[in-house]
Amino acid sequence: MEDKLEQLERLNVPAMDEILGVPFKVLDDGFVRVIDYMGTDKSIVQAARVSYGEGTKQVLRDRELIRYLLRHRHTSPFEMCEIKLHVRVPMDTWRQWIRHRTANVNEYSTRYSIAIEKAQKTGSGEWRGQGNDNRQGSGGTIPAGVGEELTRQEEEVHSLSRSIYQHRLDVGVAREQARKDLPLSTYTEAYWKMDLHNLLHFLALRMDEKAQQEIRDYANAIGREIVNRWCPLTWEAFQDYRIHGLGLSAMEVAIIQQCVSGNLQKAKNLAIEYGLLRQTESGFKSTLELREIEVKLHALKVKIPWE
Ligand SMILES: Cc1cc2nc3c(=O)[nH]c(=O)nc-3n(C[C@H](O)[C@H](O)[C@H](O)COP(=O)(O)OP(=O)(O)OC[C@H]3O[C@@H](n4cnc5c(N)ncnc54)[C@H](O)[C@@H]3O)c2cc1C
């Protein structure tokens, strides 16, 4: 006897259909908008049930199953969902964005077309200082008086580079060569398509506070405005496990066990033994890893034993 196949309906998400083509503004002139999508939370569940069989239906409801899959890093069910975005991004941010290799991309070509006229502007209160903790990052803001001067200089650079670009085009220089001195703040546009598993990876890296503010703004818009509507159960699980959850290594577990048992000296000794806390001539020095453990101890409201 032939197996009876279930009746299928196209899965769609009304909350996503409402925002198709609607731009979510990011930075001063950037945006992200959904061009198309395939799949929903239900597609993830459906794919998982093909592999696990009907049994999971009785045991795990959709939300539980999605949480299980994400918790145990099952990836292929999330790859069943795809999204195509239209993004408008300054080129320096795009340079970071395009490092994510699992996307399908078509970018606006400044060999064929005249470069987008807009360049990202920085308000006088928006200039950030160099970070102390993270040598790649920023910390605090530059005083407003200095910021005004920086913003004025920025306007001069944008205006000068644009007028030189325009002059090159006017005298017949090819667009592919004329563009070479446009600033990295010039906006570009792209169609960017990715599956949900890789999108969550992108979001985990780019929503993180260690990522640059500008790409974080885009990642937050994609996560909160789009994925939240598209696959709410997955978004909830992702936030719970990846964004707000704490992963603990075996060393961290051992240190925390000593902390919560009140054995602070033993906890400190473990940190030294593991090479996380180093004795120097001027006292103990924390490694980067230990400083990250301190953040977890703070979150758990556990006293830091080496302070
Ligand atoms: C805060 C931050 C700082 C960074 N600083 C720097 C820097 O200073 N210099 C620099 O060059 N980059 C830097 N990067 C970029 C970073 O190293 C990665 O290239 C980028 O984040 C893409 O990550 P990914 O390769 O995991 O993701 P994707 O390219 O999206 O790939 C997703 C996953 O697919 C798999 N995959 C994809 N392609 C391959 C492949 N060819 N082989 C095997 N597996 C593959 C991997 O598992 C990968 O994790 C930084 C990124 C962040 C978030």
* Interacting residues of 19 by C-beta distance below 8 A, sequence separation 6+: 33, 34, 225, 226, 229
* For residue 22, pLDDT beyond 70: yes
CA dihedral angle for residue 235, residue 237, residue 240, residue 246, rounded to 10 degrees: -120
Query: 67 is written with which tokens?
Result: 């949480």
Residue 210: CB within 6 Å of ligand 1? yes
To the query of whether residue 71 is one of the catalytic residues in this protein, the response is no
Side chain identity at residue 161, one-letter code:
S
Ligand 1 pocket, residue 99 CB under 6 Å: yes
Cα gap 132→130, rounded to integer Å: 7
**What whole-number percentage of the chain has pLDDT above 90?**
81
Ligand 1 pocket residue status of 101, Cβ below 6 Å: yes
Among 153, 175, 152, residue whose Cα is nearest residue 165:
175
Question: What CA–CA distances, in Å, run from 69 to 46, 60, 72, 177?
Answer: 12, 11, 5, 49
The predicted structure's pLDDT at residue 145: 87
Ligand 1 binding pocket mutation candidate from 97, 99, 198, 242 (most atoms within 8 A of CB): 99
The reply to whether ligand 1 has any atom less than 6 angstroms from the CB of 224 is: no
Residue 99: band (very low, low, confident or very high) from pLDDT cuts 50, 70, 90: very high
Q: How far is the CA of 215 from the centre of ligand 1 (A)?
A: 15
pLDDT tens digits, residue range 163-207? 999 999 999 999 999 999 999 999 999 999 999 999 999 999 999
Q: Decide: 223 and 207 in contact? Cβ < 8 Å.
A: yes
Per-residue burial over 201-230, b = 16 or more CB atoms within 10 Å of its CB, e = otherwise: bbbbebbeeebeebbbbbbebbbebbbbbb
The band of 58, judged by pLDDT with boundaries at 50, 70 and 90, is low
108 is in an annotated binding site: yes
Residue 82 burial by CB count (10 A; 0-12/13-18/19+): exposed, middle or buried? middle
Q: Whose CA is nearest to atom 19 of ligand 1?
A: 99
Nearest-angstrom CA–CA distance, 7 and 221: 36
Atom of ligand 1 nearest to the CA of 202: 30
The answer, yes or no, to whether residue 151 has pLDDT greater than 60, is: yes
The answer to whether 198 touches 103, Cβ cutoff 8 Å, is yes
Residue range 15-31: average pLDDT? Answer: 97
- Tell whether 206 is in a known binding site: yes
Q: CA 105, CA 86: separation in Å to the nearest integer?
A: 10
What pLDDT sits at residue 306?
Answer: 86
Nearest CA to ligand 1 atom 24: 100
**pTM, full prediction:** 0.92
Name the token pair of 229.
Answer: 């509507």
* CA nearest neighbour of 202 among 285, 284, 101, 290: 101
Position 221 pLDDT exceeds 60: yes
Condensed to tens digits (0 to 9), the pLDDT of residues 222-252 reads: 999 999 999 999 999 999 999 999 999 999 9
244-277 burial code (b ≥16 CB/10 A, e <16): eeeeeeebbebbbebbeeeeeebbbbbbeebebb
Residue 270 has pLDDT above 90, yes or no: yes
CA distances from 61 to 5, 71, 106 (A): 21, 15, 38
Among candidate residues 67, 88, 162, 206, the one labeled active-site is 206
- Whether the pLDDT of residue 282 is over 90: the answer is no
Q: Is 67 annotated as a binding residue?
A: no
Give me the chain's average pLDDT, please.
93
* β-pairing verdict for 283-286 and 277-280: antiparallel
pLDDT per residue over 108-133, tens digit each?
999 999 999 999 999 999 999 987 76
* Mean pLDDT (whole number) for 35-45: 95
Pairing of strands 187-195, 104-107: antiparallel
CA 52 to chain centroid = 31
Give the pLDDT score at 297: 94
Distance, CA of 301 to CA of 299 (rounded, Å) = 5
Q: Residues 270, 251: contact at Cβ < 8 Å?
A: yes
Ligand 1 centre distance from Cα of residue 201 (Å)? 10
How remote is the CA of residue 101 from the centroid of ligand 1, in Å? 8
pLDDT of residue 227: 98
Residue 53: is its pLDDT beyond 70?
no
Poorest-pLDDT segment among 17-31, 83-97, 268-282: 268-282
Q: 221 alpha carbon to ligand 1 midpoint, in Å?
A: 21
Q: Is 134 in the pocket of ligand 1 (CB under 6 A)?
A: no
Ligand 1 centroid – CA 102 distance (Å): 10
Summarize the confidence of residues 253-269 as an average pLDDT.
Answer: 94
